[in-house]
Amino acid sequence: MSQISRRHFLQFAGSTLATIGLSPLIQQQGDRYGRVLAQDTPRKLALIVGINDYPEIGRARALRGCVNDTELQRRLLIHRFGFNPCDILVLTNAQATRKGIIGAFENHLINQAKPGDVVVFHYSGHGSRVFDPDVLVYGVPKGKTGFNSTFVPVDSRLPAEFPKVGGVVKDIMGHTLFLLMSALQTENVTAVLDSCFSGDATRADFIPRSRAGGDNLQISPDEKAYQDEQLSKLKLSRDEFVKLYRAGVAKGVVLAATKTYQTAADAHFNGFYAGAFTYLLTQYLWQQTSTVESAISSIREPLFETYEQSPLADIKPGSGYESQPIFFIDTNKPPAQAAITELTGDRATLWLGGLNKRNLRALKNGTVFTIVDRGNGQVTLNSRSGLIGEATLNGTAEPGALLQKSDSVSTGI
């Protein structure tokens, strides 16, 4: 497809679901490959949120892999899908307050995205459910009456004596995400949600990304007031909004880690923690650049076998977006498992986020990677810490060069 026809297609092509160790990975904002941009798509914007540092209240335990998820996603978008690092905003831990997340969505995504642009929103953290009188009034086609699924910002606290005593929480409702996505001018929107909505289950081998909830928790007045403000901007009555909300996601595609009654795993891998859904999806997309439907179908079985969670794709009704390329970007990059992030002479720093658990376990000093894009030759691994490697270059390459290990295992966690 030519550059002109691709841009024309994106401009006219037509979300949580409809409810809507690795040492801490260091973001290298000074990446020298910042100039890398795909030539056949409009601007690409991303907001990536990851929260580990929850207070130890009730069952909202601190998590370990959400900040790592942000780096897994960030590197994927840069190396595989041509995002400029300057167009990716990452919020972690203390930055990811209710006000911080909503403000970043407005300022970085809504205020900047134009028709035809590509937008990605990623959230890794706790999910919960709160009592919602609107659900009781209008009913919902799925889920339990009276509850709405939420994201849990870092500053949302359970009452000290919960569950004996209920009260107000500062969660962000699925309704609010629907309204935020509705305000975007582009249809090329993907929300990736690595949290769970079911509440209280626990497993010995991972921490569930789920904070306790229930009918004695209510949403804050600020949340409802913000929804009313957005409805006014969108010129929607609450009745009109509820009809749209019940019909499906507002724009684009939502990729969710679980069904509503399952827990999302914050899991330990080979030397680091990450979301099982984010990690497996990331690995797949380093090797494939396929449609939304095929991506979710390909990771569903291994994810369920290991963690008993079933990832879902929710699509704007009648849009056919399940057959569109993932993130609405039709890239022609070759399969890869790693990339060169820094290069000084023949000394290369590698990002190894495309390797699955089996391949990481098999890595040893002396492992050879072949350069498959933006260079020619090989690199030899000298050492590894989590997903960051140090290597020696034999050949020619530039920062951002893609790498493939020839004897790798391509599937599975």
Looking at the chain, the whole-number percentage of residues with pLDDT higher than 90 is 55
Place of tokens 């207070």: 55
105 band by pLDDT with thresholds 50, 70 and 90: very high
33: confidence class by pLDDT, cuts 50, 70, 90: very low
CA distance 300 to 292: 12
Are 307 and 276 in contact by the 8 Å Cβ rule? The answer is yes
- CATH architecture for segment(s) 338-404: Beta Barrel (2.40)
Please tell me the distance from the alpha carbon of residue 137 to that of residue 130, in angstroms, as a whole number. 15
pLDDT, tens digit, 9 for 90 and up, residues 131-182: 776 654 444 444 445 667 889 999 888 776 666 666 778 899 888 999 999 9
The chain-wide mean pLDDT, for the chain, equals 82
Segment 335-368, tens digit of pLDDT: 999 999 999 999 999 999 999 888 888 899 999 9
Is 83 a residue whose pLDDT tops 70?
yes
Q: Report pLDDT digits (tens) over 195-244.
A: 975 323 333 345 666 666 666 777 888 988 999 999 999 999 988 988 88
* Pair 262, 205: CB distance under 8 Å: no
What are the phi and psi torsion angles at 273 (to 5°)?
-110, 150
Write down the pLDDT at residue 146: 63
Contact call for residues 159 and 213 (beta carbons, < 8 A):
no
pLDDT of 1: 36
- Locate all alpha helices (DSSP H) within 91-220, ordered by sequence: 98-104, 133-138, 174-182
**Residue 39 scores a pLDDT above 70:** no
Query: Can you say whether residue 284 is alpha, beta or left, with left for phi > 0 and alpha for psi between -120 and 50 degrees?
Result: alpha
Contact 301, 295 (CB under 8 A): no
Q: Is the pLDDT reported for residue 32 higher than 70? A: no
How many angstroms separate the CA atoms of 44 and 285, rounded? 17
What the block records as the tokens of 144 is 């339990």
Domain boundaries, the chain: 3-328, 338-404
Q: Is the pLDDT of residue 3 over 60?
A: no
CB atoms near residue 282 (< 10 Å)? 23
Compute the distance between CA of residue 210 and CA of residue 129 in angstroms, rounded to an integer.
9
| pLDDT confidence bin for 256, thresholds 50/70/90 | very high
Distance between CA 34 and CA 78 in Å, rounded? 8
pLDDT of residue 278 exceeding 50: yes
Report the alpha-carbon distance of residue 151 to residue 153 in Å, rounded: 6
CA neighbours closer than 13 Å in the CB half-sphere of residue 98:
18
Query: Would you say the pTM of this structure is higher than 0.95?
Result: no
Residue 34's pLDDT band, with cuts at 50, 70 and 90, is very low
CATH class of 3-328: alpha beta
Over residues 88-99, mean pLDDT: 96
